Amino acid sequence: MIKKITYGAPFDTEAVTGAYESWQGELPYFSQEEGRKFSYRMAEEDIVFGLGENVRGINKRGWIYESKCSDDPNHREDKRSLYGAHNFLIVDGKECFGVFFDYPGKLTFDIGYTDRNVMLIEAQTGDIDVYVIEGEGPEDIAKQFRGLVGRSYIPPKWAFGYGQSRWSYMNEDEIREVVKKHREAGIPLDSIYLDIDYMVRYKDFTVNEETFPDLAGFAEEMKEQGIHLVPIIDAGVKIEEGYDIYEEGMAGGYFCKEEDGSEFVAGVWPGRVHFPDMLNADARKWFGGKYKVLLDQGIEGFWNDMNEPAIFYSEKHLQEVFEQLEEFRGINLDNEASASLNRLVGGLSNNEEDYKLFYHEHKDGRVRHDKVHNLFGYNMTRAAGEAFEELEPDKRILMFSRSSYIGMHRYGGIWTGDNLSWWSHILLNLHMMPSLNMCGFLYTGADLGGFGSNTTEELLMRWLELGIFTPLMRNHSAWGTRRQEVYRFTQTGSFRKIIALRYCLLPYLYSEYMKAALRDEMMFRPLSFVYAGDRFARRVEDQLMVGESIMIAPVYEQNAKGRYVYLPERMKLVRFRGPEDRKEEVLEKGHHYVDIALDEVVFFIRPDHLVPMSKGGSCVEKVDFDHLGLLGFVEKEGSYELYDDDGYSRDYESPSHYTQITVDAEGRISSGGEGSRKEFYLI
């Protein structure tokens, strides 16, 4: 049951698909003031799930968060927001309900920060749509919410392969070398990401002809080796006479303008840029159409970046700072003076005041950016997604973004931005998975190994042991940090085995992803969603259910030889050292210490559940999805509903995609359904 309560005159974010009549009754659960402040008294046992991409745990209680898409590479506990704005919560305890605050500007979520027992949500203005969702429990509520906001984005199957990325792959030869090293070491690989260095001076939709003289030919050469090139696209368009994108944007009036009608000037990678007005349908159509330049060269995937939008400086503010700097010249920089100098210069980037300087021409009228700030990245990715539907109607294109708002999940996935090579960020990666799934973001993952700072072999290996389960599995690192392609370390063989296992698990992971997308369900669930009555399961913050059959409990501590795991029911522990080396043991419900060596992947199978597995392959295309081994924990009868398709086309509905598999206690397999041409064997 969904109730929509409208306050004031909300901006149409288009997060919700379809028209929902506002409910005329009182807002349940909350008391509200001015349609702007909403408070809920929490009971001692209440858990608060949600907020998608943000800091801290799965249970959000005990901190204050903000919805304010931010370009912030320090994902520390004391932060309040990251790159996305995902305003959906589920309270589960004394009462159980979901709530979505559909509001495009800044929101504050004080969840027991000021008062342990009070949740206070505060918007800037009293123009907001609040949706309250009631249901049978958190899972049902999440599903109803997903029904409200529309089907999640579905990437091509190859995008479930392993991707290698690094900011600083400068030319074709460097990439050839990276691919060769993976292939030589037998490490499966499906994609290489092109960061900003493939462009001419960071100009969108250009390709540097000195370093990439024939992108189409190179993309073809890579494809022959099973590799997809995935270029980055940035939000800012370089201001440069003669640069076609700039000229067209100016001629069409597609860039964001200041109050006086002049184009707003910000600084990002290329220096001075204009921002395409992503909230203006015409500008969106124009910008989206530009992806064709790269599609025509054989590119089949993109990542959209800097679309909070990130601002290194605004031209206006920069001039002011230069003037004020004069005041510091020649004076004795004591404590106060040097602090204010630092504040002055440090305040240049991502300054909230700059977001008040420009406007959008939206269908419902002119609107100042800060009031709709959280919709920018969403609409940049929507521009691309809508263009792909037109340009490539029969083909799925990989797309994921850094910034997002709920609604964007229909057009692309997200990666979780500039994390660090920190152990705590493995756990943060895990925490975000179910929170993001609740909000519709299924195609997601972190920069494995850590983006900023120097990784270690151990950290990268442990992180990959989680990463093999996340739909987006990409090793990405920043320019200037230690190189972290897996072949650069001593235990290449162990890395190979871990990544190879991902490819063996693909039939299961892809099937679970697709079912979750097509049925508005979550692929990653907190244990408490599944074992609601279990007081230990309700509090677990470092284990997850992955799909219907598996529970994972990754290691996220340096020098650990294993970890404590809570089993909410009897399960089968499976221990892999590469696809060929598997050990199993049945563990009873309860608390266990489980040894997990550095090069081992351990997961747990629920009773009477199955995990279809392939024999792997060097890339997704080489994986045989038609002859599958069944790994199971069958006590009475194990069953599994397998989804599979060609991985490229957009026909998801055909019953021929489904196979019903059962295995009885004697190990007899039967399979049916229209997809039953597949063959299965026990492993």
Q: What is the DSSP letter of 195?
A: -
| Binding-residue pattern over the window 76 to 95 for ligand GLC, x denoting contact by CB under 6 A | --------------------
CB of 20 to ligand GLC, least distance (A): 35
Closest separation between CB of residue 135 and ligand GLC, Å?
36
How far apart are CB 234 and ligand GLC at their closest, in Å?
7
215-224 helix and 172-184 helix, angle to the nearest 10 degrees: 0
Strand-strand pairing, 128-133 and 88-92? unpaired
State in angstroms the smallest separation of the CB of 235 from ligand GLC. Answer: 11
**Residue ranges with strand state E in 313-442:** 313-314, 359-362, 365-368, 398-401, 404-405, 413-415
CB of 447 or CB of 521, closer to ligand GLC? 447
Of 35, 135, 417, 547, which one interacts with ligand GLC (CB under 6 A)?
417
Amino acid type, 382 = R
Q: Is the link from the previous residue into 309 a cis peptide, with omega within 30 of 0?
A: yes
Residue pair 413/432 in contact (Cβ under 8 Å)? The answer is no
Amino acid at 293: V
Least separation in angstroms between CB 433 and ligand GLC = 19
For ligand GLC, give the closer residue by CB, 166 or 538. 166
Cβ-based nearer residue to ligand GLC, 108 or 416: 416
When asked if residue 110 is in the footprint of ligand GLC (CB under 6 A), the reply is no
Q: Would you say 156 and 14 are in contact if contact means Cβ atoms under 8 Å apart?
A: no
Least spacing, CB of residue 197 vs ligand GLC, in Å: 8
Q: Which of residues 169 and 524 has its CB atom nearest to ligand GLC in the complex?
A: 169
Helices (H), 369-456: 376-391, 424-438
Q: Which is nearer to ligand GLC, 48 or 245 (CB)?
A: 245
Can you tell me whether residue 295 is helix, strand or coil? helix
Nearer to ligand GLC, 235 or 555 (CB): 235
Quick note: the x/- pattern for ligand GLC over 345-384, rule CB under 6 A, is: ----------------------------------------
Q: Which residue is nearest to ligand GLC (CB)?
A: 167
Q: Which residues of 134-151 are buried (b: 16+ CB within 10 A; e: fewer)?
A: bbeebbebbbbbbebbbb
Residues whose CB is less than 8 angstroms from the CB of residue 1 and which lie 6 or more positions away in sequence, other chains included: 133, 134, 135, 144
Tell the smallest beta-carbon distance from residue 418 to ligand GLC (Å): 5
Burial string for 629-650 (b: 16+ CB within 10 Å, else e) reads bbbbbbeeebbbebbbbebeee
How many residues bind to ligand GLC according to rule CB under 6 A? 9
Angle, CA 490 vertex, CA 487 and CA 495 arms, to 5°: 55
Q: Contact letters (x/-) for ligand GLC, 163-202, by CB under 6 A?
A: ----x---------------------------xx------
| Cβ proximity to ligand GLC, 198 vs 576, nearer residue | 198
Cα–Cα separations (whole angstroms), residue 406 to 80, 87, 88, 149, 375: 18, 8, 9, 8, 9
- Please state, as a whole number, how many other Cβ atoms lie within 10 Å of the Cβ of residue 392: 16
Specify the residue, 232 or 501, whose C-beta has the smaller distance to ligand GLC: 232
- Which CB atom, from 306 or from 426, has the smaller least distance to ligand GLC? 306
Q: Smallest gap, in angstroms, from Cβ of residue 309 to ligand GLC?
A: 12
Among 418, 465, 542, 645, binds ligand GLC (CB under 6 A): 418
Count each helix (H run) and each strand (E run) in the chain, helices first.
13, 41
Concatenating the DSSP letter of every residue in 542-573 gives S-EEETTTEEE----STT-SEEEEEESS-EEE
In terms of C-beta density within 10 A (0-12 exposed, 13-18 middle, 19 or more buried), how is residue 348 classed? middle
Question: Which CB sits closer to ligand GLC, 46 or 305?
Answer: 305
Indicate the residue among 446 and 544 with the shorter CB distance to ligand GLC.
446
Nearer to ligand GLC among residue 418 and residue 512 (C-beta): 418
Candidates 60, 143, 157, 402: give the one binding ligand GLC (CB under 6 A).
402
Of 294, 344, 272, 351, give the one whose Cα is nearest residue 71. Answer: 351
Return the biggest CA–CA distance within the chain. 87
Q: Which residues pair with 131 in a beta bridge?
A: 4, 100
**Of these, 187, 232, 266, 398, which contacts ligand GLC (CB under 6 A)?**
232
Site string for ligand GLC, 464-483 (x = CB under 6 A): ------------x-------
Q: Say whether residue 305 binds ligand GLC (CB under 6 A).
A: yes
Q: How far is the CB of 276 from ligand GLC (least distance, A)?
A: 18
**Site mask, ligand GLC, residues 130-169, x = CB under 6 A?**
-------------------------------------x--
Nearer to ligand GLC (CB atom), residue 66 or residue 195: 195
Least CB distance from residue 167 to ligand GLC, whole Å?
4
> How do beta strands 301-305 and 398-401 pair?
parallel
Between 42 and 414, CB nearer to ligand GLC: 414
Q: What is the dihedral of CA 588, 592, 595, 596, to 10 degrees?
A: 80
Shortest Å distance, C-beta 666 to ligand GLC: 52
CB of 417 to ligand GLC, least distance (A): 5
By CB under 6 A, the residues from 524 to 583 that bind ligand GLC are: none
CA 496, 498, 501, 502 dihedral sign is negative
CB-wise, 196 or 550, nearer to ligand GLC?
A: 196
Per-residue b or e along 253-269, where b marks 16 or more CB atoms closer than 10 Å to that residue's CB: ebbbbeeeeebbbbbbb
Rounded least distance, CB 466 to ligand GLC, Å? 19
**Closer by beta carbon to ligand GLC, 235 or else 527:** 235
277 binds ligand GLC (CB under 6 A): no
Query: Minimal distance in Å, beta carbon 494 to ligand GLC?
Result: 26
Contact positions with ligand GLC (CB under 6 A) in 308-337: none
d(CA 626, CA 623): 9
| Rounded least distance, CB 637 to ligand GLC, Å | 46
DSSP structure string for 458-508: HHHHHHHHHHTTSSSEEE---TTSPP--GGGSS-HHHHHHHHHHHHHHHHH
Distance CA 187, CA 178 (A): 11
CA distances from 461 to 187, 240, 415, 427, 490 (A): 14, 44, 19, 14, 11
Closest CB 163 distance from ligand GLC, rounded Å = 12
List interacting residues with ligand GLC (CB under 6 A).
Answer: 167, 195-196, 232, 305, 402, 417-418, 476
